[in-house]
Structure 1
Amino acid sequence: MPQTNEIADVIIDMIGALPQAKRGVTPETNIVRDLGLDSLAVMNFVMTLEDRFDVSIPMDRLVGIETVADLAATLSNLMGAERA
């Protein structure tokens, strides 16, 4: 199972492929505020992540995610829970 920092690196690489991506994305980057993603772009990105990591992120978990690090920690947690 990938570590949280490895997951964050993958997320940062994937964000870099987005048309609205900005340079300098870090684990502390706020997904909505700093990247300017609207709700549709966020949902599309989440679906891409779910496919990439073979995990489903429940909607109630998305509410607490603000930064790339939050997203990586959530994915790591869900992946660990599904493998246990």
Structure 2
Amino acid sequence: MQFLLDSADRQRLSLDARPDGALTLVFDEATGEQASVAPRTLLWYKLACTLPAKLPPAIVRDYATKTFKPAQAYGALLNTLGPCR
């Protein structure tokens, strides 16, 4: 599953969540610059503690299909990250 994120400085990021639970953040698709999101690292902390707890209702409504439920997919991502402590 892939989630596209916009950073505070308007940089487009791609967060890839594999079925095995591994997370990779791609900073630049053109150069392939990426980093693994390992638990308890600074990158993990930034994601776990700054991503919203729920998707905005408009996204859930506009992108939901019979086979893709954005809220469930996002919830699975947050479960993979774990709580911010």
With structure 2 as the length reference, what TM-score do the two structures score?
A: 0.29
Query: If you compute each CA radius of gyration, which structure gives the higher value, 1 or 2?
Result: 2
Larger RCO, structure (CA 8 Å, separation 6 or more): 1
Q: TM-score, normalised by structure 1?
A: 0.29
> Higher helix fraction: Structure 1 or Structure 2?
1
